[in-house]
Amino acid sequence: MNKAGIIWFSQTGNSYVCAQRLKRRLLEQQFELIDDFVLSDMQVDFNSLTHLFFVFPVYNFKMPCYLRDYIEALSCFDQKVKVYAIITAGGMEANTAWILDGLLKKKKAQLDDYLVVYCEDSYIPLRKFLGTKKQKNKPDESSFLKIDQFLFENVLHGKLKNKIRFNPLNPFHWLGHLAPPTGPKQFLGKRSFVKERCVDCSICYNICPAGAIVKENDDIKYNDQLCIGCCSCFNGCPTDAWQSPWYSSKHYYHSPFLKEMLKGRQSGLSE
């Protein structure tokens, strides 16, 4: 019996819907399945798995710090598990797969293959200055078909397509390498919260992965020390209550998958 684990991280929902698609297809293939959102408290027994999938976005030309911490905290793998990644990116994944492979090797595992799914970019600075417009409205059905194909051809029939290698000539790798581990928050500039605009939809304090936004006694409080600049509050707020000096609402990516993902974060990858 095949048993797969899907370990996922997602902030605006792109990786979430990709993980959801993967889950549906694995269930159709009679896989037994467990899934875990990286910031949940669940304990996964990795040695009971035959296949392990990481589904996550590229952040600052590398993997999000939460996924890195998650893997670093794992014990070493006792037996061979096939490991795959589905990486969502706005257009510049740099050497992210290689970075993941390096982390896994420290745990006596390795990345067998990976797929990059190009998606609408949720990072305001990159959207404004680099404008990855090609990926507009993605992930879409064509992205999901790529996941199906990856699963059937590469994972189930062993057709290896992507070499996991380090490209030292990729300038973005070095940019990501130099960025602070929690991300270049300074690109957002000094932010403000326009209380009058807030309709208390609860998205920002539910989505913030860093605990930088909390609701206390009917007030929304923001702690700049904790913020990692992931932009999720900007992306998620329906009324533009979060403001930055350099970015206005036209730079925001309001993901159609966000609300669905917030539900999924509370209860695994529920349909």
Ligand X SMILES: Cc1cc2nc3c(=O)[nH]c(=O)nc-3n(C[C@H](O)[C@H](O)[C@H](O)COP(=O)(O)O)c2cc1C
When CB distances are held under 5 to 8 angstroms depending on the partner's kind, the choice from ligand X, ligand SF4, none that residue 212 binds is ligand SF4
For residues 81 and 50, what is the distance between their CA atoms, to the nearest angstrom? 5
Strands 242-243 and 192-193: antiparallel
Please pick, from the candidates 35, 93, 112, 113, the single residue that binds ligand X as defined by CB under 6 A: 93
In a 13 Å sphere around the CA of 148, the CA atoms on its Cβ side amount to 9
Question: Which residues face 77 on adjacent strands?
Answer: none
Burial of 76 per CB tally in 10 Å (0-12, 13-18, 19+): exposed
Is the Cβ of residue 92 or residue 204 nearer to ligand SF4 in the bound state?
A: 204
Please pick, from the candidates 3, 32, 91, 193, the single residue that binds ligand X as defined by CB under 6 A: 91
When CB distances are held under 5 to 8 angstroms depending on the partner's kind, the choice from ligand X, ligand SF4, none that residue 121 binds is ligand X
Please pick, from the candidates 4, 6, 7, 15, the single residue that binds ligand X as defined by CB under 6 A: 15
Please pick, from the candidates 82, 104, 113, 122, the single residue that binds ligand X as defined by CB under 6 A: 122
218-250 in b/e burial notation, b at 16+ Cβ within 10 A? Answer: eebebeeeebbbbbbbbbbbeeebbbbeebeee
When CB distances are held under 5 to 8 angstroms depending on the partner's kind, the choice from ligand SF4, ligand X, none that residue 86 binds is none
Shortest Å, Cβ 11 to ligand X: 4
When CB distances are held under 5 to 8 angstroms depending on the partner's kind, the choice from ligand SF4, ligand X, none that residue 65 binds is none
Q: Which helix (H) or strand (E) holds 100?
A: helix 96-105
12 near ligand X (CB under 6 A): yes
Q: How many CB atoms lie within 10 A of CB 33?
A: 18
Q: How many CB atoms lie within 10 A of CB 50?
A: 15
123 near ligand X (CB under 6 A): yes
Could you list the residues that contact ligand X (CB under 6 A)?
Answer: 10-16, 57-61, 88-93, 119, 121-123, 126, 183, 230-231
Could you list the residues that contact ligand SF4 (CB under 6 A)?
Answer: 198-204, 207-208, 210, 212-213, 220, 227-233, 236-239, 241
